[in-house]
Structure 1
Amino acid sequence: MAASPEYPLFREALGRHLASLQGLSGVQAFLREGDGLWQEAARFGKIDEARMMPTLDAYTPDGGGAVEAIAGAQNAWAAHYMVGGAGLDLVLMLRLDGVAPADLQSQLTLVETRVGWLLVAALSDRSAQLGAVAIGTEVGSQILLDAATARNRRQLADQWVARLEKALTPDLIAVTWLKGDKPKLQALSGGGMVDRNSEARSQIEALADHAVRARAPQIIDVVDAEPDDKLPTATDDQLPDPKEQILLEDAMARIRVLGGTRGLSLPVYGGDDPKAVIVCIWADDTLAGDIHPESADLLTQVLSTSLSIQARAFPSLWRRVGNWLWAIIRGVFGPTVWRLKLFLLLATCLIVALALWPSQFQPTFSARIEAQDRRVVSAPYDGFLAEAPFQLGDRIQPGEVIVALEDSDLVLQLAETQSELSEVASEVQAARAQRDSARVQSLEAQSRQIQVRLDLLQRQLDLARFEAEAPAVVVGGDAWRRVGGRVRLGEPLLELAAPDGFRVLVFIDEDWVADLDADAAGTLLLTAHPGAPIEVTLSNITSDPQLRDGVNTFTAWMDIEEQPDVVLLDGMRGVVRVDGGETSMLGAYTRGAARWLRRTLWRWS
């Protein structure tokens, strides 16, 4: 039959005490411990699923029995009996067919007289289960204590065999390890030798494979238990799955080949995957009856934990190599003199190697693109801004209007001044005709003043529209925002620069100012163009100190060697790596510490 029932004595007592009940066509028994959930302990014959939950919900410890007729059937009755015992509650649900109402009372009385014996059997089963769990706990503690001393899995398998052989007393116990998906026999009880190819080995590995597929402990009894002919047989929907039945029959056949009547297979997991399977075989069924699912599950968990403990205590080869290297490092730093000398020797060799390894100083600094040869477009006179079509970053072509001021007032004033000048010229002619020299001189002086004012107005009118004479880029100003507003004479409107007139402004740490050559080469990498490095050359270092991120820096200018393919805009930021000259690997990585040490020693001297 399949896995051992949880209440075997109860099932046996149920069949024995109710077998003589007249007309019994189905019985279902439920047990509950304390306030836990109801558990089906036995089922035979026809069962009415619809009556199950209402009956269990209506349970009371002293409910006794009840019976009602089944609708649509003649002389068919549904009965139940409820009773509470010492730690266990029992509910019996029965179906009686072909029982006359006159005989019903006697049959129910017979059930009531048998309930006490059924409850005693259930309590006996429960006591056996608790004892099995206690045994599993004791064996488990010994297995866990031994796991840390097993240097390899073969020793761990021998420990499992020894502990389980003493606790379960099987006639055969075997440990198989899974290599890939196939179990391979590793150890046998009694110190038996593992043959490479044998019939017993094949049967044991097949039983282990059966447990791996089931992914649960398998307790298998090969003694065929025929159903009680005095009780109805199970209905078709209660029959086991044909596939599971085939696997079960195969496992039973293999246990018979090994000379056993009962078998136990315990899969051992490492994480989510099975790593080993333990197979136990009993030649008789006297001791195997003490094995219960609770103890099997507990042993499975304990064995999985012991496998993890052994793996941590004795890791794999690579882990051992790492531990060995770490032990060497710890040994070098030990307190003994020879270890200290060994450490100093290794450190000296490392320092010499680094001092002979050629390298270069390549410090990095923050940088920014700056426009060169800037031009400022200012307001030529007080007035109103009429046009400003370009914004920051726009490119201006020659002949395009950059800014334009409102000139209608200038045109009007220019016309009035020209008219005034014409009138004065006419008066001069009249004064000369009258030979009035004093008036002629006065009018000529007035004419010269008007001419100066006329020239000024003409100059302002010429400057009202500022056109580009060469290609330019807008790099400053805000004229496009002030169109229609009033501007004052000399007020800056836009700032222009040549498109190819960009340089790099670098902020060099004070610590590197004296160590960089005047024409040192470098590489600029802009944030906007991370995939296009630009070759630059140091032009000069200014005397303008700035405090940046807590470090005193000096601004320096670097020229761009060749115009890059990318678009450069004023204000772009990036990082410059400057070639600081030849050095060694030791000097490159200890420069800062060496300079700090020299300054500290000089301060103390």
Structure 2
Amino acid sequence: MQLDSESNNDQLRQAWVQFSNAVSYSDYCQYWLELMCTRIDGVTLAALVLESGDAGFLPTAIWPEKSQPDDEFTALIEEGIDEATGLVHSMASGCYGVAFPIRLDDQLVGVVAVSLRLPQTALPAVMEQLQWGSAWIELLVRRQRGREQGEQYDRLSGAVDLLSAVLSEPRFQPSALRFVNELAAAFRCDRVSFGMTKRSQTKVIALSHSAQFGKKMNLIRRLSGVMDEAILQRGVINYNVIGAGDSQMVLREHAQFSQSGGNGNILTIPLHSGDDYFGAVTLERATGQPFDEQEQGRISSIVALSSEVLRNKEHQDSSWLQHLYRASRTQLGRLFGAAYLGRKLLLLGSAIIVLFFTFATGTYRVAADSKLEGEVRRAVVAPFQGYLDDALVKAGDRVSAGQVMSRLDDRDLTLEKLGYLSEQAKLQRQYEDAVAQRDRAEAQVLQAQMEQSRAQLELVDSKLQRTRLKAPFDGLVISGDLSQRLGGAVEQGEVLFEVAPLDSYRVVLWIDEHRMADIANGQHGRLVLNALPEESFAFTINRVTPVTEAKDGSNFFRVDAQLNDNSSRLRPGMEGVAKVEVDERHLIWIWTYPMIQWLKLKLWSWMP
């Protein structure tokens, strides 16, 4: 290989001149690649691939120009990007393929690939030439990035300066006026206008160098149309009266505004937050002073940063009615628009619940603690003073009518009976003697004594019969256990047993005083006992008494009810919970009534 031979000095000199005079980024890359191919003999195809931001690696220059790399050469470039190191491959065409990475601060920014016909011994020199030449591309990339960072810094510094000026004003209207004035001064604009969308139409809020302006001026109406045109198309409109026909956007309002006395260059930037377009900014310059792409980018960055602050200030300065309207509109839009599925489901569920409680009714029932008692409760008492001889039953035993439950000691009564029998026999003999002697007076006296003795004897017989305490009817002994008192004395009238029937019961309910207003005779209900939770028994209220009892800090009224159902498993004294059915009412009333009643009482107690 002869890199600087006499035969290609002119081509090399011309390549250096083109490369030195390159102005644009693409020309620089293309002339650099031509220079490298001129310095290296035997090159048949060469390509320069550089990183292009989000687009990835893209071909920037190719030599010869308009050449089409084949699949093998493309694979060489891709392998060079993946490996990020120098590569040399033998290609099917008999050429050698060389790929060399271009780095910037240990970051891969590109790859240069060449296909050449040279001896293998010349390949190290080729690699050195590519390594030497890559420094020019590194310098280009570094300058390009420095320029982009400088532009970005200028944009940010301008945006921050304007933002600080807007934030320095406490109110919205002065902030908007300061915004357009600073924007007009920074970019040498004849006029800058700022508008916000109100009811689907843009309203001009501020004009640069104009503290006040009439709302019905033709200028203001036309500016509103210009802003609406950009907002409706959702894009920035850069109108130039000279090159207006090159734009792909509708420019009718901008053209009419320019012809009616406006300026020849109009830049309108719509303001938006996500998909919500809420206003626009229009900048005007005289003919011959167009807005270039760089200026448009800077202005867009500044406007995007400051517009949100202005929007927030406008919201803060609104009245409470406007805040309410805006919030309601936003929530309705979210509710009936797209997305926000959870909110829609929540509203639907709430509507279903409201409808349910509006029409759903149920049986209003009053719950109360209850106790089962026998309808009749008969007491078995001691007929006279005596001593217990035997106790045949006790509480909990079932008895039949006439069954002996207990016996009193009858020995004294038996002796007393024998005495009366002896005396009666004696009086009978005396009476017969008096009759035989025809002593009428004596016979009448003896007859009276005999009657008295007979009466006393009948009394003793009666007491003897009553020493056997018998059950008054079939039932259950609910109290009385004399097994520990055998031989003990009992007093006349002392209650020894209590018996209740097993086929007739009554229910005693203790109703909370807060619910007594809903209770009346004749109401029905159901009873569930603690001992029989799987069954319920119907009852009917037959007596509401004024008797109260204090339990757990509350007053309860006693209510008697007749048990309609019967069961062989029922026993007097069982306890449970009874519910009295009052009437049909709305479920929401039934569930909230205790709380509402409590609140009413508390409010009444707190009221002066």
Shared fold, TM over 0.5: no
Report the structure number with the largest CA radius of gyration. Answer: 2
Larger RCO, structures 1/2 (Cα 8 Å, 6+ apart): 1
